[in-house]
Amino acid sequence: MKTNALDDCLRISLAHASLTLKLDDVLGLFHGLSLGDFILLRLLSQAEGGRLPLAGLVRPLGVRMSTVLRQLAPLEKTGYLQREPGRMVAVRPAGRTRVTEAAVTAEVVCSEALAGMDAAAREGLRTMLSQLCRSSVLELT
């Protein structure tokens, strides 16, 4: 079967959508977090000092700045993060705890999703996705 770039990208998009729906469902049910909230808290938890500039959250979350700002409010109210001077955002201890617990659940889902792939296939997938993420064509101007 002949494939083209559009088919390949749509297949990647479908895999992303399926994984997003599953993780949204499971993380919401067990931890009260959306996948977007989980990713945001994980980014902050892994950042040096547990803080990042607001602008640094746009690309990893795959949303516009206005969406990032709307996403912060409920996480602030629950005590998971705080805004700081200089347009910075920092994870709070409750957020670090919540994302650590949720990561265990997310790991189970992801392990099950990739269970049919051997180590070489997973390494190839990581390489391909990393190259795609670095593509200058995907940069916003």
The full set of domain ranges for the chain reads: 15-138
Measured in residues, the chain has a length of: 141
At 29-66, the pLDDT tens digits run 999 999 999 999 999 999 999 999 999 999 899 899 99
Q: Which fold has domain 15-138?
A: Arc Repressor Mutant, subunit A (1.10.10)
CA angle 99, 25, 97 (to 5 degrees): 10
For residue 1, what pLDDT is reported?
Answer: 57
140 confidence band (pLDDT: 50, 70, 90): confident
Report pLDDT for 138. 87
pLDDT of 117 higher than 60: yes
pTM: 0.90
